[in-house]
Structure 1
Amino acid sequence: ECPIDLAAWIQFLCADACVLDDPAQRTRVLLAGHSMGGVKAIYSQTVAPDARVCGIACLSPPHFCHQHWMNHQLADAFRESYQQARGFVESGRPNELMQCRQPVPFVATAAGFLAKYGPEDTYDILRLIPQLKSPSLVLLGGRTAGSSPAFDLLERRLRQMSATSPNVAFELLAGEDMSYSQQPEQPFRLISDWWMKQDSLQSMD
C-alpha cells in the first residue's frame, strides 16, 4: 500500500500552489524517509516510479533479507516468529496476531509477517536500490551499523554499490545511533549538500 500512499502525498504536494513560487519547480520532489520510511521510499520508486521524484534520501533503512536473518547468530527470536507465522498460515489461521521480538518488538498477523520477512525478499533494499531510476543517498550511523542483523551488511554492501554506481551515494556517520542524536542537524546538512550536487548535475543534462 505504501506506493499508493506516497503517490497521493506527492500529488498533494505538487498540486499545492503555495509550496513553491516557481511553478516550473513544483513537480520536482526529493523523497526522504527514516528507518522503515526509507525502505518504503525505495520500494515505492521501484514498483511504481513517479517521474516527479528526482532523488531519494534514506536514513537508517533496515535490511530485510530472509536468508540473512535465518542464518544470523543473533536472530533466534526472528526464526521463532517465522516458524510460528508459517504454522499459523499452514493451519488456515493467516490473521492470527503474533507478538514478535525481531527485527523490533511489534504485533503482526501471521500472513503479514511472512509477506514482510519471507523468502521473497520483497523489501530487501540491497536488491531494490540498483533498480531505482532516481539518484539515491543512504545514511547510516556508525553505532547502528553493527547493532543488528538489519544493519550489519549495509556498510560494506553500500560502499561497494556506491563505488560502482554513480546513481548511489552512501555516508557512514561515525559515532551516531539510529536517531542521529549526537549531531541531529548533520543528516540534513549531508542530504542538502548531496542534493545540491545532484541538482547541478541534472540541470546540466
Structure 2
Amino acid sequence: MRWVPSRYFCDGSRSEPATFMLVDLVQVTASDGVRLHGALESPSEKPDAPLDAWLCIHGTGSNFYAGSTLAGLAPKLLAQGAAVLRANTRGHDIVSTGPSAGGRWLQGAAFERVDEAPLDLTAWIALLRERGYQRIGLLGHSMGAIKAILTLAGDDAPAVEALVAASPPRLSHERFNQSSQGEGFRQTLAQCEQMVSDGRGDELIFVKFPLAYYITAAGFLDRYGPEERYNVLRLVSRVKCPTLATFGSSEVQAHEAFCGMPEELPPLATPENSLQVAVIAGADHNYTGCHDSLAAVIDKWLRRAQ
C-alpha cells in the first residue's frame, strides 16, 4: 500500500489521507502469438498463506479491469496473503482488436474459439512462475471457470495447486434443447448451421439464449452444439488438483445453465480433484454483495485442501 498525503483546497478545507494499491500492468504472448494484458497485485502483508498467487480469469465479454466479480474478490484474496493476477483472455470484451505477432485481428467473446483458452492460461501461469510464484491457484468466473477447467483437463495441463471454478455454466446442447427456451434455441442452431453451410460462419448474429450477446455463427455451433465440447460435467473428472466449484443460491434457481449443477457435480469427484461444491446463500451470478462470503469459503476450503 502507498500513502497519499492530505490535499488542501482554496477554501481552507483538506482531504483525508488516502491509500491505494500499487498495480503492475503486465503482458504475455501466447504460443500462437496473441498478446494479452493483465494486472498483478501483491499483498501488503504475507501471512501464512496456502498459495503464493492466484490467476483470476474473467467471464464472457468481461476483462481484467471490469468492476465486477473479480474486482470485488481480488482485495479479499490479497488480504489472505496471496498475490492476485487478473488477466485477459483473447475472449475479453464482446468484440476487441487483438494485437499479435502477425498483426491485429478481431477477437473478443464474439469471435473467440474457447478451445484456444489453454494457450492463454498457460502463458499467464508461466509469467507467474517467471516472477517467482511457485504455489499458484487458478480461479475462473463463469466462462472463465469453463476455460480453467478445460485447461486443467488437458493432456498438457500446466501444474497448479488448486482450482476454484466460480459459477461455471453447464453448456449442454441436450439440456438447452429440452428447456423452456428449447424452440428458440433450435431455431438459432438451424440459422447458424445454414450460415456455416453458406460460407458465412464468421458473420455475427445476435442470440438471446443461453446468453444475450453477439457471436459468430460458427462460434455458436462450437460452443453450444451437440458435441458439448465445453460441458464441464464431462471435463472436471480429468482435473488433477484440488477443485472447488461455487454457485450463488439465486443463480441456480434463475437459469437453466446452473439449475441442478450443485447436485450434479459432487458425484464427479475423484481422488485427484477431491471436488467439493459450495453454494453461497443469497448470491447472484456476480456474487453481488457476497464477495466476503465467497472469499471466506475459498480460504477455508483451501486450508483444508492443502
Counterpart-to-counterpart distance in 2, 1:153 and 1:127: 15
The aligned amino acid for 2:129 is C
Query: Number of residue pairs matched?
Result: 190
Question: Which protein has the larger Cα radius of gyration, Structure 1 or Structure 2?
Answer: 2
Post-superposition offset of 1:159: 3.8
Counterpart-to-counterpart distance in 1, 2:280 and 2:186: 30
The aligned amino acid for 1:2 is A
Counterpart-to-counterpart distance in 2, 1:70 and 1:165: 33
Q: Deviations over 1:140-178 (max 9, x none)?
A: 011100211111130220244459987100001122111
Corresponding residue of 1:60:
167
Aligned with residue 130 of structure 1, among 232, 237, 247 = 237
Tell me if structure 2 keeps the 8 A contact 1:144–1:176: yes
Counterpart-to-counterpart distance in 2, 1:16 and 1:152: 40
Structure 1 stretches of 5 or more lacking a match?
18-25, 200-205
Counterpart-to-counterpart distance in 1, 2:286 and 2:269: 23
Tell me which moved more, 164-173 or 60-69.
164-173
Aligned with residue 147 of structure 2, among 40, 59, 65 = 40
Tell me if structure 1 keeps the 8 A contact 2:236–2:268: no
CA distance 1:163–1:14, shift in 2 (3 Å): closer
Counterpart-to-counterpart distance in 2, 1:162 and 1:193: 19
The aligned amino acid for 1:190 is V
1:77 maps to 2:77: no
Aligned with residue 157 of structure 2, among 45, 49, 67 = 49
Tell me which moved more, 77-86 or 6-15.
77-86
More strand by share: 2
1:194 maps to 2:301: yes
User: What TM-score do the two structures reach when normalised by structure 1?
Assistant: 0.86
What SS does the aligned partner of 1:14 have? helix
Counterpart-to-counterpart distance in 1, 2:140 and 2:248: 15
The aligned amino acid for 1:13 is L
Report matched runs for 1:88-103 at 5 Å.
88-103=195-210
RCO (CA 8 Å, sep 6+): is it higher in 1 or 2?
Answer: 1
Tell me if structure 2 keeps the 8 A contact 1:75–1:149: no
Corresponding residue of 1:113:
220
Counterpart-to-counterpart distance in 1, 2:181 and 2:262: 18
Corresponding residue of 1:8:
123
1:145 maps to 2:235: no
Corresponding residue of 2:55:
none
Counterpart-to-counterpart distance in 1, 2:163 and 2:213: 27
The aligned amino acid for 1:141 is G
CA distance 1:145–1:107, shift in 2 (3 Å): same
Counterpart-to-counterpart distance in 2, 1:139 and 1:182: 15
Counterpart-to-counterpart distance in 2, 1:83 and 1:33: 31
The aligned amino acid for 2:165 is C
What SS does the aligned partner of 2:153 have? helix
Q: Deviations over 1:99-128 (max 9, x none)?
A: 111121111111111111111111101111
User: What TM-score do the two structures reach when normalised by structure 2?
Assistant: 0.59
Counterpart-to-counterpart distance in 1, 2:272 and 2:281: 23
